[in-house]
Amino acid sequence: MVRVPLTPEERERGQRLGEALREARGTRSMASVAAAAGMSVETLRKIESGRVPTPAFFTVAALADELAFPLADLAAACVPASADEQPRTA
Amino acid sequence: MVRVPLTPEERERGQRLGEALREARGTRSMASVAAAAGMSVETLRKIESGRVPTPAFFTVAALADELAFPLADLAAACVPASADEQPRTA
DNA sequence: CATGGGCGTGATAGTAATACCGGTATAACT
DNA sequence: AGTTATACCGGTATTACTATCACGCCCATG
């Protein structure tokens, strides 16, 4: 296997990313946010629903910028709740 | 075409991302950083050299965390120099 | 009731990311 | 000189991302 399939943990992490983005969107429509961030509505929908667990960095960055959601906070929001105090490997 | 090929601008942006990460790595070996960030050395090499212009969000996040490089700064470092003062859309 | 907007899902298509492999080059060290 | 470590590069294989199309559901409005 040259490209390992995503693990369940990675998919869960993607779900948390999507949930965080969806909350940040609030009452704005998906269409307006997607357009402002430069992506299709379908892509935003899949990211929010977690069906695209590992989107491209700049895709996430554009969304975070558009939604005024700090990237660092977004990354932190994807860490499992049980480990949110120990982000360091050590 | 369903998936538009990356534009030259996007590839340049990827190059800036790679350069920023390479500087942040300093004198550490690629192998140790790649291992600590949970990716193969080949992947890190391609990201640093800009041959992978749009890596996955969590790949970049893991590198930024390992290199103690704030994600927001990293995203800002990818904006063309002529626009580094106006990161906001407005 | 009809219409439209917003959201969700599935299928399809095409490009890109990731990993493994082998080869090459340079430098340090024995 | 030989070995080891690091880095660069090309090719290959497989998965994943992004976009378009099409359909159905819910709700508000006419």
Q: Which residue has the tokens 């929001």?
A: A77
Question: How many angstroms separate the CA atoms of A34 and B89, rounded?
Answer: 14
| Other residues' Cβ atoms within 10 Å of the Cβ of residue A50 | 17
Is the distance from CB of B73 to CB of B87 less than 8 angstroms?
no
Q: Which residue has the tokens 């906070």?
A: A73
More confident residue, A37 or A80: A37
User: Residue A80: what pLDDT?
Assistant: 79
| Run of H or E including A44 | helix A41-49
Question: How many angstroms separate the CA atoms of B61 and B51, rounded?
Answer: 18
Among residues A68, A61, A54, A63, the alpha carbon closest in space to that of A34 is found at A63
> What's the farthest any 2 CA atoms get from each other in chain A?
43
- B72: chain A residues, CB-CB within 8 Å: 70-72
pLDDT digits (tens, 9 = 90+) for A54-82: 999 999 999 999 999 999 999 999 987 76
Tens-digit pLDDT profile for chain B (90 aa)?
A: 678 899 999 999 999 999 999 999 999 999 999 999 999 999 999 999 999 999 999 999 999 999 999 999 999 999 877 655 554 544
pTM for this model (two decimals): 0.90
pLDDT above 50: residue A37: yes
Q: Say if the Cβ atoms of B72 and A70 lie within 8 Å.
A: yes
Q: Say if the Cβ atoms of B75 and A55 lie within 8 Å.
A: no
Residues 19-38 of B with CB under 8 A from A: 36
Strand C bases near protein CB (under 7 Å) are 5-21
Contacts of B53 (CB under 8 A, 6+ apart): B6, B10, B11, B13, B14, B15, B17
Distance B20 CA to C30 C1' (A): 37
CATH fold group of domain A8-77: 434 Repressor (Amino-terminal Domain) (1.10.260)
Query: B87 at the A interface (CB within 8 A)?
Result: yes
Average pLDDT over every residue of A24-30: 95
Among residues B59, B69, B13, B75, the alpha carbon closest in space to that of A54 is found at B59
Mean pLDDT rounded to a whole number for chain A: 90
User: Residue B25: what pLDDT?
Assistant: 95
* Chain A residue at shortest CA distance from B58: A54
List Cα–Cα distances, B24 to A84, B32, B44, B80, in angstroms: 24, 14, 13, 19
